[in-house]
Amino acid sequence: MLKIYNTLTRKKETFRPVMKDKVRMYVCGPTVYNYISIGNARPVIVFNMVRNYLEYLGYEVIYVQNVTDIDDKIIRKANEENVDFKTVASKYIKAFTEDIKSLKVSSFTRMPLASEMIEDIINIIQRIIENGYGYVAGGNVFFDVRKFDRNYGKLSGQNIEEMESQEGDIFGKKDKVDFALWKSAKPGEPYWNSPWGKGRPGWHIECTAMATKYLGHGIDIHGGGMDLIFPHHENEIAQAEAAFPGKGAFVKYWMHNGMIEVREEKMSKSAGLEENWILRNLLKSYSHNVIKMYMLTTHYRSPLEFNEEKLEESRKALERLINTLVNIRFLIESYKQKSRTLHMFQEHSSARADSEIDSMLDKCHNDFVESMNDDFNSAKALSHLFELVKKVNSIIQSADFVMADSMSKTLERVYNMINELGVIFGFDFEEEIMKITSRTGDSKDIDREEIERLIRLRQEARKNKDFKLADEIRDELYEKGIILEDRREGTIWKVREKE
């Protein structure tokens, strides 16, 4: 049974979606005034895992993520660069779409833009005013926080009396805790016509409008970074429940990912962007698999430190896993080939190792699911996968290991299960395997064909008892970053880990 930590109740709760087989999920997306940082990539990777795991459990998932393309920061940047705000927004929407593609996460069911929602936003603001929770002042519309009678502050656990002022002083605001639903246009700002004059929506209202439009009410999961709990998500709740008081709670489970931190700083939208925090720059040095490994070996609610050593560690962990998969595949393929040519049939020679791997496989699967069911504990789930990889690796590397028909099938199950479970995290292990088996890693000027030619030459030399030549070939390959392993089944080669 899946349990999710609900920010609203501050405890883990058994997950029961409103509809039996369908999960409706909303996650706050980026404000498009710059390239996205590794910090912005965390919710993308985390909620992709959440969606994938829910699908793995058999749910149909509708996943909506917005893009904020109307915002002070965008307008400021447009003014600085002396261009229209749309020029800035569309440049970074395009960049975001490209980055998502390079990250290889599954696509969102919908990705609405704030600027496409103006009519819906105006309708919701009108409802809030009609229901007595909003007031108009000089072309601005504010949410009247003290009038809201469904416990404003319930999500962030704050008392109104102790709250800080929101958004500073805007003309006509009656109370410091009130926030803008609609802002009248200042000269030089983009605007839309509304019943209150020319203006633009406040930030919080777009998410309420999008979530209720595309997902309805009582949506199952609403996610985002912890920096959004207050005021953004607190205000989303207030707006939705003020506009539709008869529809019950806006959201059932609130999920928040921890922030990525660089020493003392938090990497949020407001922080400046350093070159090496920009996702597309990182993706030049680290594959999407490495970045996912780095993110998901920490629980999603914990803070995550950003530094390159951690990324290097993740790269090495991934390499260990991929090397084992390469070895397994080699064993299976060479066994199949031999069986075909020699009509070889060995049924029982490795029965013990076989049943050992078999039971490890079942245990790994159960432990994996148990960890994921415990509030998506990907860190623990991954550690079970690594444990399996380590054990299988030691069995297939042991001196008395013999391939047989049943072992070949067992290893195939190992291979498939690791790949399948990896998909939940968004991993594409096949892609990494291809890199190893089709090329020979970075900066090595040797290709697959050349490696295999040298291996055949070395086998020939060994057959002729020319061990000097055989060793020379081995050393030559080692120099080029290729390690050979001699097995009963033949010689395996792999790329040497970087020291």
CA–CA separation, 418 vs 141, rounded Å? Answer: 54
Q: By C-beta, is 32 or 392 nearer to Zn ion? A: 32
Measuring CA to CA, which residue among 209, 213, 204 is closest to residue 179? 204
- Closest distance of CB 228 from Zn ion, Å: 6
The first and second tokens of residue 429, run together, are 């292990």
CA–CA gap between residue 406 and residue 352 (Å, rounded): 11
Q: Which of residues 189-228 bind Zn ion (CB under 5 A)?
A: 207
Window 150-189: contact mask with Zn ion (x via CB under 5 A): ----------------------------------------
By CB under 5 A, tell whether 32 contacts Zn ion: no
Binding mask 55-94 for Zn ion (x = CB under 5 A): ----------------------------------------
Least spacing, CB of residue 156 vs Zn ion, in Å? 14
| 291 near Zn ion, judged by CB under 5 A | no
Nearest to Zn ion of 17, 29 (CB atom): 29
Please identify, using beta-carbon distances, which residue of 28 and 424 lies nearer to Zn ion.
Answer: 28
Smallest gap from residue 224 Cβ to Zn ion (A): 6
Q: Please, which residue, 233 or 299, has the CB nearer to Zn ion?
A: 233
What letter does residue 107 receive in the DSSP assignment? P
The amino acid occupying position 200 is R
CB of 203 to Zn ion, least distance (A): 8
What's the min distance (Å) between Cβ of 232 and Zn ion? Answer: 6
Characterize the bridge pairing of strands 199-201 and 179-184: antiparallel
Q: Which is nearer to Zn ion, 202 or 426 (CB)?
A: 202
> How many residues bind Zn ion, per CB under 5 A?
2
Of 21-29, 264-272, 304-312, 413-421: span binding Zn ion (CB under 5 A): 21-29
Taking the complex as a whole, the smallest distance from the CB of residue 254 to Zn ion amounts, in Å, to 12
* Least spacing, CB of residue 191 vs Zn ion, in Å: 22
In one letter, which amino acid is 65? Q
The DSSP result for 130-167, as a single string, is: HTTSEEEETTEEEE-GGG--S-TTTTTT--GGGPPPSS
Nearer to Zn ion, 135 or 250 (CB): 250
**DSSP for residue 339:** H
Phi, psi (5° rounding) for residue 487? -125, 165
Question: With left for phi above 0 and alpha for psi between -120 and 50, is residue 272 left, alpha or beta?
Answer: beta
> What is the distance between the alpha carbons of residues 7 and 4, in angstroms, rounded to a whole number?
9
Minimum CB distance to Zn ion smaller for 207 or for 392: 207
The residues facing 7 across adjacent strands are: none
Angle between helices 405-424 and 378-397 (to 10 degrees): 160
CA distances from 301 to 29, 257, 268, 279, 400 (A): 18, 5, 15, 20, 45
**Which residue's CB is nearer to Zn ion, number 241 or number 319?**
241
28 binds Zn ion (CB under 5 A): yes
Number of Cβ atoms within 10 Å of the Cβ of 25:
26
CB of 115 to Zn ion, least distance (A): 15
* Residue 207 or 357 with smaller CB distance to Zn ion: 207
Nearest to 53 by CA among 372, 360, 307: 372
Minimum Å gap between C-beta 204 and Zn ion is: 7
Residue ranges binding Zn ion (CB under 5 A): 28, 207
